[in-house]
Structure 1
Amino acid sequence: MSYDLVVWEGARPTDDKTAGKVFADLYNHYIEEGPNHPPSERISAYVAALLERWCDLTEDEEDTSPWSTGPLIGEASGPLIYFPMRWSMADEASAYAADLAHSMGLVCFDVQWDRLRP
């Protein structure tokens, strides 16, 4: 079982319902439809910052990475990244990921709870 977050570029929606609609539109455009888009510069920088804290799953020899897939950058498409993490590490990793997104001017949305973070 995994815990999923999505982070994207753009203005922070005014409420959770609006954020859910923005997420659905972005997901449909960048993940469901058409070919993969290369990650934007800001999303690439975000992923790099996450990987400074915890290694990529593809390099995890000591089972310390919270990510459920690897390489993590492979979950990014254009201005968003939709990424799963191990349930057992979700509290710490999702809090860090949400705080980091906020500090970088990105929007973080909790898919399980359909709400903005932090």
Structure 2
Amino acid sequence: MSYDLAVWEGEQPISDAAALDCYLKLMDRMESGDHEPTPTPAIMAFVEALTARWPDTDEAWDDDETPWADAPIINNAFGDAIYFAMTYSGAERAVPFAAQCASELGLVCFDPQAESLVSAR
């Protein structure tokens, strides 16, 4: 099992319900393959910020500190969005950092488990 986040470019939704609607459309687009495969510069910058803090290389898998459930996490990016998995213990540390990075880059951060936006603290 993993703890997942979705991060995407776009206007900040006005509510969790609006964010859920955006998320569901995003997942439909991802599953249909109807998207640009190359990550946008903002998504690349987001992933670079995450992996600068917690590398997602083969060597990092030997480190209990890595939060990633799969790697490299850039492989989970699709155009202007990314859907990535963390371990539950890793999510405790990584979710606040991911939300902060997303906020700094003007990206939306969404928690599909809670069906809610994740804001920077």
Is the TM value for this pair above 0.5? Answer: yes
Letter in 2 for 1:105: G
Q: Which residue of 2 aligns with 1:51?
A: 51
Q: Which residue of 1 aligns with 2:64?
A: 63
Which aligned segments of 4 or more residues in structure 1 are displaced greater than 6 angstroms?
A: none
Q: Write the mapping of 1:14-93 to structure 2, written as runs, cut at 5 A.
A: 14-29=14-29, 31-34=30-33, 37-60=37-60, 61-93=62-94
Show structure 1 runs of 5+ residues with no match: none
* 1:17 partner SS: helix
Q: Which residue of 1 aligns with 2:106?
A: 105
Given the superposition, is the C-alpha separation of residues 71 and 12 from structure 1 closer, same or farther in structure 2, using an over 3 Å criterion?
Answer: same
Count of aligned positions: 117
Q: Quick one: distance in 2 between partners of 1:4 and 1:102?
A: 17
Letter in 2 for 1:44: M
Q: Given the two structures, how large is their TM-score scaled by the length of structure 1?
A: 0.93
Is the Cα–Cα contact under 8 Å of residues 4 and 112 in structure 2 kept in the other structure?
A: yes
Show structure 2 runs of 5+ residues with no match: none
Q: Quick one: distance in 1 between partners of 2:14 and 2:95?
A: 21
Given the superposition, is the C-alpha separation of residues 107 and 32 from structure 1 closer, same or farther in structure 2, using an over 3 Å criterion?
Answer: same
Q: Quick one: distance in 1 between partners of 2:108 and 2:47?
A: 14
Identity over aligned pairs, percent: 43
- When the two chains are superposed, the root-mean-square deviation of aligned CA atoms in Å is 1.4
Is the Cα–Cα contact under 8 Å of residues 110 and 116 in structure 1 kept in the other structure?
A: yes
Q: Given the two structures, how large is their TM-score scaled by the length of structure 2?
A: 0.90
Given the superposition, is the C-alpha separation of residues 25 and 87 from structure 1 closer, same or farther in structure 2, using an over 3 Å criterion?
Answer: same
